[in-house]
Structure 1
Amino acid sequence: MSSTPTLHIVTGKGGTGKTTVAAALAMALAGRGQKVLLCEVEGRQGIAQLFDVAPLPYEERRIATGLGGGEVYALAIDPESALLEYLEMFYRLGRAGKALDRFGIIDFATTIAPGVRDVLLTGKVYEIARRQGAKNEAGPTYDAIIMDAPPTGRITRFLNVNSEVAGLAKVGPIRRQADSIMQLLRSDATRVHLVTVLEEMPVQETLDGVAELTGERLPVGHVIVNLVRPALVTAATATALDDDDFLDARLPELLAGARLDPSSADVLVAGGRGHLVRQALQQGQRELLEQADPPMAELPLLDASVDAGALLQLAEHLRSEGVA
């Protein structure tokens, strides 16, 4: 193992499949024999649903084994549990901290101070990244940590914990914690991957996210284009769809020869032309992303729902595209 695990932070606009991509990335790295921690910070239990396991507690739990012999562990980080752990670690409050939780003070504190909430969530990841293995193990506990992070519109603020706590803590342990977290997040060990689909709003949000992350010196990894629709129409067919003489004369004849209803020609032509329009729009959004600096990777739209086999299929794509 290296001295510091690689930290992959996966963000994306809602509906782009960022949790699925984070899970597939974990399986890709486990497929290389790595021990991986996959964690979430939004309380949605999306990881548990993808891997068909019980809801994740605030503890690391093995949920899968990669084809290469690696292991995937998972953790659901919630700010209340993280704050209790923080109070015990730095102030030895123990039972007193749990008493505060019963009075609702923990929830109150993390609600009125969102910056502190983000420090607690990222701070737990920081603590795991620094943690060393058992005495008979050299190096950190994990080879890689993957965070299923908040959406692209909030990711820069979420990660830039220094500015978030600037008005709350000028000195002291919270400030020191924020400074240490930022050192990790801006280091060569970190990659922020942005998941998008080839539609106007997600692509624009991705481009804005890349610019904001770069402006805050946060390291952008890959732009991962998910749910890419394959081209179903060949170049010859596309040409034929523009040829009115062919459509009027030859297509009904061909359909009849294939024992299909010639009257279905209009429906087929409309469907084919609609597909070409969608492909053109998709290509236009792809070209916008290609103008940005980060490398791109593409994942196909799968025919079936996402299960263990689908995750392995996506994992293979991520390996071939150089993300894992």
Structure 2
Amino acid sequence: MTGKGGTGKTTVAAALALSLAADGGHVLLVETEGRQGIAQLFDTPPLPYEERRVAVARGGGEVKALAIDVEAAFLEYLDMFYNLKRAGYALRKMGAVDFATAIAPGLRDVLLTGKIKEAVTRRGKDGRPVYDAVVVDAPPTGRISRFLNVTGEVAGLARSGPIKSQSDGVMAVFRSPQTAVHLVTLLEDMPVQETADAIAELTALQLPVGSVIVNMATEPLLPPASLAAVAAGELTGEDLLPALTAARVSGGAEVAGALVAEAVEHARRWQSQDALRGEVEALGRPVLELPLSSSPIDLGCLFELAERLRDLQPAVAA
């Protein structure tokens, strides 16, 4: 799940995880940016570098969450490929981990995406995948292509060896039918443009694009037939005075004028959003709309959004 900052991608990722866990599913929700946004949404203590259950979904399913820590992932990587766990702890004390990821930024994404790939491909004793789905709260659209294209990022780091093998394995999963990159947007100019740019970049990299999710969508407060007339300035204070007088609203013409100004602003804003809705649909991807919540986002709200995701587009929850 990606999107421009402020579009609510973390909230949508959490709702999608709950949706996928319904009816007995086992889902892992992964955070990659170290903001502990998932912990805040589920009202839990900060997540450690281990998989913790954060919610039980309808039908007995469960959502576990993991906040990937780059240092811990680096130590795990050294132990897995080089049997150097103790040396890794010494490197961390020396600050060498930060130094290594600073001079080779692509290494950081290899570590993060490598952990995601491991969770996707992990199997239990019965040979079945441990998780039915892995939902990733990924970096924003401005960085998503670089984050997912780990093969390109490590080309200058290694042409062979474990790092190269790791990146190739990650790309095999990311480019497979197992993966879909969903994009969250708002009906505003910048988020819609970044969504279009991200889809073009992901497509060029042969990474599978899923749905575009329009978040925080609002309904018009005026009847559809009246919106165009109001936006065109055809509504006047005189039109409202009889109703205000009948309702015994004081203020008369002054109140009527203020209401007209608000109505015109609302109608024009709605027309602008509707035009952007057309631009989103023209991107050629399935489009879903999630409503603007009138209350703070809490666990109850997440469950409501999860149901909405299932109702709107079953393919997103598959």
1:167 aligns with 2:156: yes
Give the counterpart of 2:109 among 74, 99, 118: 118
Per the TM alignment, residue 241 of structure 1 is displaced from its structure 2 partner at its CA by: 3.6
1:97-143 Cα deviation digits (max 9, x unpaired):
1111111111111111111110000000111111112x3x4401100
Q: In 1, Cα distance between the equivalents of 2:142 and 2:234?
A: 50
Report what 2:245 is aligned to. 256
1:147-185 Cα deviation digits (max 9, x unpaired):
000000110111000010001100001001111110000
32-41 or 227-236: bigger deviation: 227-236
200-209 or 313-322: bigger deviation: 313-322
Q: Which amino acid aligns with 2:98?
A: D
CA RMSD of aligned residues (A): 1.5
1:214 aligns with 2:203: yes
Per the TM alignment, residue 236 of structure 1 is displaced from its structure 2 partner at its CA by: 4.8
Alignment of 1:1-324 (within 5 A): 10-133=1-124, 135=125, 137-238=126-227, 241=230, 247-261=236-250, 262-263=252-253, 264-322=255-313, 323-324=316-317
Q: In 1, Cα distance between the equivalents of 2:176 and 2:60?
A: 28
Q: In 1, Cα distance between the equivalents of 2:148 and 2:111?
A: 11
Per the TM alignment, residue 32 of structure 1 is displaced from its structure 2 partner at its CA by: 3.2
Spell out structure 1 runs of 4+ moving beyond 2 A.
235-250
* Structure-2-length-normalised TM-score: 0.95
Q: Which amino acid aligns with 2:32?
A: V
- Structure 2 regions of 5+ residues with no counterpart? none
Q: Is the 8 A contact 2:231 2:268 kept in 1?
A: no
Q: % of aligned pairs identical?
A: 57
* Structure-1-length-normalised TM-score: 0.93
Query: Across the two proteins, how many residue pairs are aligned to each other?
Result: 313
Q: Which amino acid aligns with 2:276?
A: Q
Q: In 1, Cα distance between the equivalents of 2:235 and 2:287?
A: 39
- Structure 1 regions of 5+ residues with no counterpart? 1-9
1:188-244 Cα deviation digits (max 9, x unpaired):
000000111000011000000000000000000001110111111113543664798
Q: In 1, Cα distance between the equivalents of 2:237 and 2:122?
A: 71
Q: Is the 8 A contact 2:30 2:137 kept in 1?
A: yes
Counterpart secondary structure, 2:206: coil
